[in-house]
Structure formats: structure tokens, C-alpha cells
């Protein structure tokens, strides 16, 4: 029996994509393949020793990645109650759960602070994979680069009716998203150069979605997974052009042997 069959739905899908999915766009050496593929026994052993995995079970988070966003949130206070948060590549849902915790007011709370504009807060999570329901979040399954999915996202975040959301002049839409999150990553290949290039590609993809009409508002925040390496200066320079502040963060919840970190970009400069 495989590890994936031993795990509940969302975790099984995550394991298959993170560790078992073939990498077709590059041809790493045999040594790289050995380095990049985690066997089921290795994976189970590492998980059993990981304090964040144990804490995840107590807190009800779907992935240990949730604690990476918790670390970033504690330092930067990106999300506040009543905000609109867009989570890109959200499956299995750990980041969306954290976003709901900080951005969405409980339905039982009858008093809404006067400075919130009456907003309840929204979290929209988008992924090609099916994500199990998350209380307080709207889940959209599909390709975030397709116009039909972008329209669906805007329809949810804008609180508009279809006639208003799907107006002919898309550029006239008011940007309403406060925070865009992306923990997207291809399966690592073992080649640092290839992995950096692939992560940069996903950062740029997430940014392109954030910059769509009606999405990230002026002054908003953007967080994306990032690996430092050859070619990353161009991406940093791009982010510095578009945001007032750009920082690199290595959350405490990131594994010590992992090359991953995050770009935290604050104060989006949307043309208004």
C-alpha cells in the first residue's frame, strides 16, 4: 500500500504532487533524481519527527505550510479582519485556513467595528486540484490564467452581481483584493538553476494575476514562494518597481535543509 493511499484526501493529493509527480520539463542527472525524490519510508519518518506536523494535527491545519504563513503574519500583520485575500495554488488549503483565521469575521459576531466599512472579510482560494471545503473560504477549481476563472474570482470578491462583475470594460473595475498569496511550487528537480527558474516563473504568474483589473488594490500586499539563486535579481528588481517594500523571509517553519523562502511585498503601486 502506498503512502498516498494511507493519507486522507487532501494530504494524499499533496503527497502525490510534491513527491511523486514526474518532472517532464528537465532531465536531471541520476544523482539529482536520487536527491529530489523522497521515498515513502523517508517521508513517513520525517513527518513523524516534525514538530510542526504534530502541531498541525492539534490545530486542525491541513498542512505544515500553514505555519510558514503564520510566521509571516506575525511579523508583518498582512491580514486584518474584513480584508479580501486571494490564495493562488491553494490546495490542500493550509494557507486558506490561516487567511480565514485572520481576515474573516465569525458569522456569530454581531458587532462589526465602524472602521471596517461593514466588511465581513473574504478568502478565495484557486487551484487546478480539487480542495476539500474550508469553512469561511470560497474555493475555485480551475486555471487561474483563463479569463473565465478570472471572471469567476472577480464575481466572488467584488460582491457584485453578474451584470456588474462581467462588465464589458474590465479595466474600469475597482481593485478590491487586499492580499494575494502564492505558495505555488513545481516539484523540485535537484538542479538549483532549474528550480530557481521554475519558481521565478510561478512568482511572475502569480503577480500577473494580482495585476489583473479588479484584483490587488493600491497599497495591497503580495507574498510568493521564492528560491534565491541565479536570475533572482531580475525578479527582485521587478517587485521593487511595483511595491514600496520588498523583503525576503525564511519562516521558522521552513525546513532547515530547504532552499525555499518567501518574497513579502508591501504597498502595491497600482496605477490609479
Which residues are designated catalytic? 225
DSSP 39: P
User: Which residues, including other chains, have CB under 8 Å from residue 198's CB and lie 6 or more apart?
Assistant: 25, 185, 186, 189
3-state secondary structure at position 63: coil
Closest CA to 19 of 41, 43, 47: 43
Radius of gyration, CA atoms only, the chain: 19
Cis omega (within 30 of 0) for bond into 256: no
User: Which residues, including other chains, have CB under 8 Å from residue 248's CB and lie 6 or more apart?
Assistant: 226, 228, 261, 262, 263, 264
Helices 94-103 + 66-76 axis angle, to 10: 30
DSSP 86: E
Closest CA to 174 of 186, 159, 193: 159
The pairing of strands 177-182 and 138-141 is unpaired
Closest CA to 63 of 87, 81, 85: 87
Amino acid at each position: 500500500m502506498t503512502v498516498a493511499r494511507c493519507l486522507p484526501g487532501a494530504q494524499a493529493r499533496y503527497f502525490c504532487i510534491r513527491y511523486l509527480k514526474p518532472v517532464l520539463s528537465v532531465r536531471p542527472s541520476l544523482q539529482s533524481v536520487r536527491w529530489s525524490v523522497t521515498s515513502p519510508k523517508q517521508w513517513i519518518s520525517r513527518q513523524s519527527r516534525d514538530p510542526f506536523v504534530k502541531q498541525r494535527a492539534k490545530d486542525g491545519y491541513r498542512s505544515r505550510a500553514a505555519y510558514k504563513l503564520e510566521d509571516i503574519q506575525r511579523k508583518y500583520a498582512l491580514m486584518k479582519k474584513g480584508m479580501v485575500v486571494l490564495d493562488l495554488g491553494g490546495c490542500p488549503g493550509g494557507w486558506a485556513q490561516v487567511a480565514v483565521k485572520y481576515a474573516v469575521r465569525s458569522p456569530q459576531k454581531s458587532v462589526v467595528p465602524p472602521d471596517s466599512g461593514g466588511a465581513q472579510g473574504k478568502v478565495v482560494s484557486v487551484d487546478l486540484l480539487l480542495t476539500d471545503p474550508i469553512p469561511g473560504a470560497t474555493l475555485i477549481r480551475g486555471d487561474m490564467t483563463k479569463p473565465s476563472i478570472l471572471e469567476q474570482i472577480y464575481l466572488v470578491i467584488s460582491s457584485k452581481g453578474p451584470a456588474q462583475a462581467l462588465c464589458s470594460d474590465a479595466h474600469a473595475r475597482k481593485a478590491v483584493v487586499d492580499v494575494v498569496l502564492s505558495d505555488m511550487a513545481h516539484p523540485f528537480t535537484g538542479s538549483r538553476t532549474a528550480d530557481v527558474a521554475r519558481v521565478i516563473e510561478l512568482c511572475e504568474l502569480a503577480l500577473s494575476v494580482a495585476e489583473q483589473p479588479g484584483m490587488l488594490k493600491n497599497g495591497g500586499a503580495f507574498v510568493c514562494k521564492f528560491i534565491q539563486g541565479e536570475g533572482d535579481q531580475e525578479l527582485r528588481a521587478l517587485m521593487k518597481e511595483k511595491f514600496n517594500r520588498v523583503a525576503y523571509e525564511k519562516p521558522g517553519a521552513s525546513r532547515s535543509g530547504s532552499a525555499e523562502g518567501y518574497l513579502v511585498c508591501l504597498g502595491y503601486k497600482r496605477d490609479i
